Amino acid sequence: MLTMSAPRETSLPSRKGRCPGALAPMPAKDGLLVRLRVSGAVLSSVALRRLASAGAGFGNGIFELTSRGNLQMRGVRDADLPSLTEVLSGLGLIDDDAGAEAIRNVLVSPLTGLDSGVDVGPIGKALEDALAQDKALRALPAKFGFLVDNGGPLSLAQESADVRFDFCADRNMFAVGLAGTAQSAVPLGLCEARDVVEAGFVIARAFLRFGGAMTKPPARMRNLLSACSARMIAETAGLRPDPAPKRARCAEASPIGVIELGEGRLCLGVGAPFGRLSAEMLAAAADAAEIHARGEIRLTPWRALIIPRVAEDRADVLRGLLSRLDFVTERDDPRLAVVACIGASGCDCAAADTQADALYLAPVAKWLGRAGVALHVSGCEKGCARPAAAPYTLVAKAGGYDLIVDGAPSGRAFATELSVTAAAAILAGRGEARLEGQPFLSKLIERKREP
């Protein structure tokens, strides 16, 4: 059993690079951005319907699903913020204070409690509570995150986290890792399910302790590991650096479509195009979950909603209904091959209407033949929609798009000052062997040398 040390009585800096929350909304070009950290990423249809109504009444009716399984509301007016806060409080989505809210960066498997994997929902909730109760931990960087994967069919293996716990069925224990995916994270050892919460707590305290001794405090766990050995952190947490075998690299998870969990148990996953949802779409999803399933919706880090426990004879009807409302319901939908930020309509930093351009480029991205996301269209170098590398990234600048190949938005450009049609032609040319004979793209291939 791990031993939890007493809190240190020391003055700690405030969280760096603040992310928006419900109690600490962030000003944006289109109004206040209010991010909801939904515990366990589970909402009832009643709650989702009320959120849809609140988004239309107090904001501009636009919602976004984030890559951490959060739901954010755009365009909220300052004068309406107190009324919105009252609604959120009634739904149990308000913390005691903004600091407690900000520290709850815990991602759990979206199908936990439904699939064959261990139920990590209670573990995730207990970890959230432990983190929120220790005010010293509010000095953690704003994006510092935890992940608990149950080893089920909709794996979080490809999602990165500062501190991760991956269930290993053959050991009946959790593999503890730092700063990466299940494959790339630095291993710390194994722990029992009952020790996950305490291990996460102690590792977070170790990050502050060792990071505080550095000249420049680390922004993420990977920065700390450049100056501090993983063994030191493992020993602090009472772990033995005797890792479980690394998982083989797996494809990006796809929650879209009917998900069969055996014994007639079905879930339906539907995507939000580029993570964006209207209030009408949210209300429709709530109605669908209530009428055709059990009235529950789960958020995912893949910008998709999952409706659990769909009746077997209703799955196709439900999918057709949501497809007509602009949800992504098929796994081969070209929009799944592209990620894009809100763009110039909602962000002063963005130099282009990224989502309109992403929609135009989606067929090209799809036929590049890459699994998962092939293209990232970013409004600026920050790359909010996907900070990590993508096979192809377009970064909007004043003079057009820069194209980066196999890199992050801040990487070195392969081509610069491209119009969206020129970018499409270059991308089509790079995938020409696969695209041959596609009538929709023939003109783009012919123009691939357009300046």
- The confidence score (pLDDT) of residue 443 equals 46
Residue 68 DSSP SS3 = coil
- The confidence score (pLDDT) of residue 16 equals 42
The number of C-alpha atoms within 13 Å of 439 and in the hemisphere containing its C-beta is 0
Structure tokens at 103: 């520290």
Nearest-angstrom CA–CA distance, 133 and 103:
10
Find, among 407, 373, 412, 379, the residue nearest to 393 by Cα.
Answer: 407
Instruction: Give me the domains of the chain, ranges plus CATH numbers.
Output: 1-7+110-213+220-250 (3.30.413.10), 257-330 (3.30.70.3340), 336-446 (3.30.413.10)
Secondary structure (DSSP) of 74-123 = EEE-GGGHHHHHHHHHHTT---SSHHHHHH--EEE-TTTTTSSS---HHH
- The confidence score (pLDDT) of residue 431 equals 54
The parts of the chain modelled with pLDDT lower than 70 are: 1-18, 241-252, 430-451
- The confidence score (pLDDT) of residue 116 equals 85
Q: How many residues does the chain have?
A: 451
Structure tokens at 355: 């989502």
- The confidence score (pLDDT) of residue 245 equals 57
Cβ contacts of 229 within 8 Å, gap of 6 or more? none
Give the angle 57-63-65 at the CA atoms, nearest 5°: 155
Phi, psi of 313 (to 5 degrees): -85, 0
- The confidence score (pLDDT) of residue 250 equals 61
Structure tokens at 342: 């809100």
- The confidence score (pLDDT) of residue 10 equals 32
- The confidence score (pLDDT) of residue 243 equals 56
- The confidence score (pLDDT) of residue 283 equals 97
Specify whether the CB–CB gap between 330 and 360 falls below 8 A. no
Phi, psi of 239 (to 5 degrees): -105, 150
DSSP 8-state code for residue 330: S
Nearest-angstrom CA–CA distance, 45 and 43:
7
- The confidence score (pLDDT) of residue 27 equals 95
What stretch of H or E contains 205?
Answer: helix 196-212
- The confidence score (pLDDT) of residue 309 equals 94
E-only strand ranges, 109-185:
146-149, 161-168, 173-180
